[in-house]
Structure formats: structure tokens, C-alpha cells
Structure 1
Amino acid sequence: MRNADVVYVGHMGDFGVGTSVVEITDPSKPQLLRQIPVPKGTHSHKVQLADGLLLANHEQYPYRVGVPESAGLVVYDVATPADPRRIGFLPIDGLGVHRIWFDGGRYAYASARETGYRNRILIVVDLADPARPRLASRWWWPGQHDGDRERLDDDSDVGAHHVIVRGDRAYGGYFDAGVVVYSVRSDGALELIGSLSWAERSGGHPHTHTALPLGDRKLLAVTDEAIEPECEGARKGIHLVDIADERRPREIAQFPVPAGDYCSRGLRFGPHNLHENRPGTFQSDRIVFATYFNAGLRVYDTTDPLQPQEIASYVPEPPAGQRAIQLNDVLASADGLIFVTDRLRGGLYILRRV
């Protein structure tokens, strides 16, 4: 996330560092200002910025190993951009918060692993008083709660990743359950309108991840997350989904897959995060930025929704000791700068659109 001439970078890994604060007055020479620590068994790899507040997750790491010393959502005051000041915390009874959406206003949205639920569910957080964030409501797929009459298949992987909120609608990925469309009530609560899964067609777990609305075109760019290394598991792609009928989303195209020897380069190959057209950043209802792990950053044009085209890419060399690059997240600024992070040891890359 960018705050004037400062960017906040979340980190994967249980090594004691949660968020780095980096000055970019001269983008060609970024300067590390400070690093916010996290407790043992915890990472803080996602941040959101709006209304003078920085939100960060606390989550178990390594995943499914041990018990985190801290699990929840942290609220910082960033009136002084270079010096985030912790003012609030929402504890989660469970393994913590994974991903967040907050673009201002009263409510933030997050995925969380809570005791009593299978895999991640969606939570709505009331920030009316940022110093005392409150869990306002939950939404989960039937069968995720221990008390549900419905039952999920033992080998299913149904769980929330996160939502992107636009007005009174929210769009997200729900792993095996696919892409989901919600209405957003006045109290922030979510109500399911429609969904579309391609898990059966993919022959495994597609790990459907992000659903980005493309302006007013009634289209979603939807990524699956390539979790398995070296192209193992079900095929992961980027899908263009028509939501003219929100109750019945339908896939109309898939984005081209990068050509090359990426499956043999090692680690992960496939899509992950998208630039999410946040307020104040680069906005487009046609251009889509996607991180693709060892295939770097890919840029697509969806002007023809039936034939998305790749128009640019950036694939840096991996850092020393890392088999392949693993570009993980991306933010495109309105001034032409693009910020991309590596999942492992590559750090922060600052690019410029040309």
C-alpha cells in the first residue's frame, strides 16, 4: 500500500518482521525506514490503507503448524506516514486473519480461520471506533460451521480468500466453491447472490482466489492461485466471468497462459494476485495486472472480452539462493509507478509504466 512517498510492505514468513515501511521519495533508491515486528509463529503479510488507517493481519505461520502467539487484525494510525502507530486490535479465536479489504468507511472485510469453522470464512469488522474494532458479522459456506446440517466432502477445499467491495456488491474467490457475488447490506453484512465453480472441470482444487470487477462492464477478472509447485495439481488460470445475471455467473473466456519453460524453472508457476483498482490508484476497466509467480508480472488487455490479450510482462532474475522468482502481489499507482513483491527473498520491485 502507498501513502504519499511511503509504501507499506507485508512479509511472508515466521522471522519476526511483519510490515516494512519504505520511503520512495526517489523511487530508484527506496529507503527502509522501519520494520514492525510480529510475535513468534505469526506473520503479517497483508496490509490495507484508507482514511488515515493501516490495517494488517496477524495469522499463523507456517500454515497449519503450531499456534500463533497473535491472531487477529491490527489497526494503525498513519497520520504520520513514516511512523505507523498501533491503536487497535481485533483478536480472533483461532488461527487469525489472512486477507483484508478496506477502502474507507465503517466496515472492513477479511478472511479468517476461527475456532468452530472448517477453513477460512469471511468476517465483517466494524471500525466505527478504530481503537476498538468489533466483529460485526460472519459469512460462511454451508457446511463450514461445526453445527451446520450440511456437510462438505472430506477432500473438498472450500474456504474464503477475500472480497473486493464496490458499492453494495462484493466479489470474491472461495477456493473450490469458485467465484462468489454478494450483496452488501447497510450494516455491512454479506448475502450471497450467485456463484460459479470450475473445480469439477479442473480435475482438482483450483484455489479460486481473487474476483476483480472491471468497472461497469458486468465482468469479473478471476484468478486461481497456483499453490502446488512445478505445475502440479489442477490447472490454474485467469478467467473472465460475465455477471450480467448476478445469480448465474458464466465464464466467457480465459486469459492466455505465459509461454515458456516455467514449469521446469521450479517453485510456483501460475496466477495469484491482481492490481485491485483501489481508490486513488491506477484505474482501468480493461487493463489487468496479474502476478504469476515464476512468470513474473503479466499485463492483459480485455477490450475484447472474448479474447483477452497479453500486452506486457516483467520477469526478473531470482535473488541468489532462490531457484525461481516468485512475484506475489502488485499495486499500480496513478502516477505510473508499479510496486511488485516477491513471495520469498526477492523483496520489493519498483517499475514504471511506459
Structure 2
Amino acid sequence: MAVIEVAASTVWQSVRRSAMLVAVACGGVACGQDGGAGNEPPPVGMIEVRGGGDNVPERFSSDLWIHGDHAYTGTWGGFARTGVQGDVVKIWRLDATGAPVLADSVKIAAVGTVSDLQVSEDGALLVVSAERGSGGGMYLYELTDAEHPVPLGSAIVGQAGIHTVTLATIAGVRYAFAARNPGPTASAADDPSLLIYDLHDPRQPALVARKPVPRAYGIHDTFVRDGIAFVFAWNTGVIVYDVGNGIRGGSAAAPVEVSRIVTAENAVAGGPAAHNGWWFDNPVTGERRYLFVGQEGPGSIGSSSSGDIHVLDVSDLTSPREVAFFHRDGAGTHNFWMDEARQVLYAAYYNGGVVALDVSGTLEGDLSSRLLSELKPGGEGDTYTWGVQLANGSLYAIDMLSGLWQLAPLQ
């Protein structure tokens, strides 16, 4: 396990920036029609490397979560890298500059991929999803010592595994929204499902709701805000549930469907493939008008990917409609994060690296002119970025090939 020292990283950054930086910027003007309607011009500058990188050589990396001065990253094991599976959580200390330094790791038995993780807002709980093995499921850890998580409880679903898990507090109770993969049999018990767990006692997570999803791959991810859960269910589309909002009288224990929509295929092989999303709470306009949906098409680790960002107008949650899209030739989107105050969406784009989009104003049609900046943090041939997160004034990116990066976001 490599540890990046600050002094060495600083020198290395200069070399990497001059040799491998791939970026574009808009130079302080709006980057698309109808942009800038929030009375502020879009941020300027370029995404740049600040630290980290090339720090997980023995495994493929998966997701990330930053909380305070620590980061947690997963590992992927669809196939082995250097003979090892993706069965560990990496724990990173963020130094005074925000650069990641490996502090420890936690191994999970009988799994091949640690696919997702999140820390609760109070920093007390780490939740992890795992798959590819008999130990597939959800794992909970206590974080009194942020660098040394202590196991608390788990919810094991077996070989099917759980692909993602999302924490949300509803009516004062903490819940985990888990995406259960299709199981190995054709029985209803093995159907892909949204599983909702009550975590008031994280030592014994209690399953309070199960919503099966058709086997058009199944459920992949969930975004929860203000008692509304958006379920990204691949070729079934996006399903909207009231889980405590009141629009349909639903609750976390008894979700009620509000609506559903199948996003456009946009000529991407594999269909709509609704993968993930973000409901934009725009503090500039006061609107919650847009839902950004990621489409994951076919790809090959390290070399290719496909899939667009689709924009839905959900100002009427009972009748969402698709209004815009963003496409990059030769690369497809994966997970993303928003700087809502600056009206910027940051998207991981696999072999395309990290992309920043201006999402201010009215969004219609092709948003290709809204591109603000892009960066391949590992350079050509060493970039396959899984996810991004804004924290502590930096943009962190986890790359399947080149590890955990600290980047400078737009200003």
C-alpha cells in the first residue's frame, strides 16, 4: 500500500500537471444558452490536481466518501488486479493541505467488491455495501476513532449482494436505502429490490420495507431528499417514491410510488440504463426543478465507456419529463456531485476523467456548450474515474486505476 508524502507529492504534481493535464475553461462567460439566470456568472478556471494519486496500486478502486479530515474509499473486484479482490475499505487521513495519506484499511470477509460507502452527517457511523460473495450485504461501523472503524452490525443478503447504500434521516430516524442486486435464482425472493433499513440501533439494522424492481438489470442507486426517494432502476427507468414527504402519504416503512419515467436511450447500447442521480436544490433560484440522471452504457476498464447525463424537469413530481442531455464523445458518465451554490455539476466520466458543467438557468436540449472544464487526473491510459465529492474546499476524485486524488474545483 503506497503512502503519498506531501513533499514528494508536490514535486510530482508539477510534472504531472505539465505533462498530463487535459482541461478546458470558459474564461468567465456563460457556457450555454439560457445560462447565468441566477444573477451570477458561472465559476471560472480549470479543474487541477492538488495532491494524491497513484496510491492504490494493488486493487481497483470503487467509491469514496469524505468526512472531516478523513476519506474512505472502496475497492472493486469484478476481476482481480495483481491477484487480489476488492474486499477492503481504505481509510485516508487528509493532511493540512487536504492531500490524502493512507492510514489503515478494513477487510470484509467473503466479498469481492466494496461497492459503496457513506458516513453519517454526525460522523458517528460508516455504512458500506458489498457484493460478489456469500458475505454480500450492508456493513455498519462505529467511528469514534475515524481511522479505525469498529464493526457494529450487518445485514447479509448473500451472493446477490448490495450495490449501493444511501443514508437519510426522516422524521428523526436514520435509515439506509440499499440497492439489492438480482440474486442467483429466479425466485421472487431473489428479485432486485430497494431495501429500507431502520438504523436506530445500528447493531441490529431492521428491514422495514422492500420494494421489488423488475429484472431489467434492477435497482442501481437511490437519491433521497426531503422525504422523496428517487430510485434509479436501469432500463425500468427512474421511480419516485414518497418516503415521508407527504405528497402521497408515504413513509420509510411504507413507500408510496409517486411517478416513474424511462429516460431516452440516446443511441447508447444497452438501453436507458438509469444508473444514478441528483435532485438539484438550487439556492440561487429557490427551485428544485431538475433531476440529473446518469446513464451507464457499455465500457472497458481503462479504455472506453458510454452513457449521457439526462436532465429531467421534476417541478411536478407526479409528471417528470426529460428536457435536456449532455454527451461526451468517447466517454460515458458515472457518479456525480453538485456544487449547488455555484450551480455546477461535477461528473466522473470514467476514461474521460472529471467534467464540470454549468447548470444555471433554464436547461434545454443539448448541453454540450455548458462544459466548463475537464481533467484526466491520471493522464491518458491511467484514468478511469468512478466518483467525485466536494469537501473542505477541494474536489476529491476516486479513480479505478490511479486511486484517490485531491483536485482544485472551479472558483
* TM-score clears 0.5: yes
Who is 1:55 aligned against?
127
**Deviations 1:118-171 (CA, angstroms, capped at 9, x unpaired):** 663211011111100121111123x55xxxxxxxxxxxx241111111112111
Task: Give yes or no for contact 1:169–1:182 (8 Å, CA) kept in 2.
Answer: yes
- Give 1:140's match in structure 2, choosing from 198, 209, 212: 212
Report matched runs for 1:334-349 at 5 Å.
335-343=392-400, 345-349=401-405
- Give 1:164's match in structure 2, choosing from 196, 203, 223: 223
Q: 1:76 to 1:316 in 2, by over 3 A?
A: same
Q: What is the one-letter code of the residue matched to 2:376?
A: V
% identical aligned pairs: 24
CA drift of 1:206 comes to: 2.7
Who is 2:108 aligned against?
38
CA drift of 1:8 comes to: 0.6
Q: What is the one-letter code of the residue matched to 1:205?
A: G
Alpha-carbon separation, structure 2, partners of 1:231 and 1:351: 23
**Deviations 1:278-310 (CA, angstroms, capped at 9, x unpaired):** xxxx54482111111111100111113226411
State TM-score, norm by structure 1.
0.81
The reply on whether 1:329 has 2:401 as its aligned counterpart is no
Alpha-carbon separation, structure 1, partners of 2:144 and 2:111: 30
- Give 1:239's match in structure 2, choosing from 310, 313, 338: 310
Q: What is the one-letter code of the residue matched to 2:263?
A: W
Task: Give yes or no for contact 1:94–1:114 (8 Å, CA) kept in 2.
Answer: no
Who is 1:79 aligned against?
144
SS of alignment partner, residue 219 of structure 2: strand
SS of alignment partner, residue 233 of structure 2: strand
Alpha-carbon separation, structure 1, partners of 2:270 and 2:69: 43
Q: What is the one-letter code of the residue matched to 2:357?
A: Y
**Deviations 1:40-76 (CA, angstroms, capped at 9, x unpaired):** 442213111104100001211xxxxxxx131111000
Alpha-carbon separation, structure 1, partners of 2:168 and 2:252: 16
The reply on whether 1:301 has 2:369 as its aligned counterpart is no
CA drift of 1:201 comes to: 6.2
Report matched runs for 1:43-122 at 5 Å.
43-50=113-120, 51=122, 52-60=124-132, 68-104=133-169, 105-113=173-181, 115=183, 116-117=187-188, 120-122=192-194
SS of alignment partner, residue 217 of structure 1: coil
Q: 1:306 to 1:187 in 2, by over 3 A?
A: closer
Question: Which stretches in structure 2 are left out of the alignment for 5+ residues?
Answer: 1-64, 244-249, 282-286
Q: What is the one-letter code of the residue matched to 2:125?
A: L
The reply on whether 1:288 has 2:349 as its aligned counterpart is no
Q: What is the one-letter code of the residue matched to 1:328?
A: W
The reply on whether 1:258 has 2:328 as its aligned counterpart is yes
Root-mean-square deviation (CA, aligned residues, Å) is 2.4
SS of alignment partner, residue 232 of structure 2: strand
Q: 1:37 to 1:231 in 2, by over 3 A?
A: closer
The reply on whether 1:311 has 2:372 as its aligned counterpart is yes
Alpha-carbon separation, structure 2, partners of 1:73 and 1:301: 35
Q: What is the one-letter code of the residue matched to 1:169?
A: I
Task: Give yes or no for contact 1:48–1:103 (8 Å, CA) kept in 2.
Answer: no
Who is 1:192 aligned against?
257
The reply on whether 1:12 has 2:76 as its aligned counterpart is yes
Question: Which stretches in structure 1 are left out of the alignment for 5+ residues?
Answer: 61-67, 145-156, 264-268
Q: What is the one-letter code of the residue matched to 1:227?
A: P
Q: What is the one-letter code of the residue matched to 2:389?
A: L
Alpha-carbon separation, structure 1, partners of 2:118 and 2:94: 18
Who is 2:334 aligned against?
272
SS of alignment partner, residue 160 of structure 1: coil
Alpha-carbon separation, structure 1, partners of 2:255 and 2:156: 21
Who is 1:126 aligned against?
198
Q: What is the one-letter code of the residue matched to 1:49?
A: V
**Deviations 1:10-37 (CA, angstroms, capped at 9, x unpaired):** 1112535421000012346422111111
Alpha-carbon separation, structure 2, partners of 1:352 and 1:201: 32
Q: What is the one-letter code of the residue matched to 2:145?
A: T
CA drift of 1:242 comes to: 0.6
The reply on whether 1:209 has 2:266 as its aligned counterpart is no
Task: Give yes or no for contact 1:177–1:199 (8 Å, CA) kept in 2.
Answer: no
CA drift of 1:258 comes to: 3.2
Structure of greater relative contact order (alpha carbons < 8 Å, 6+ residues apart): 2
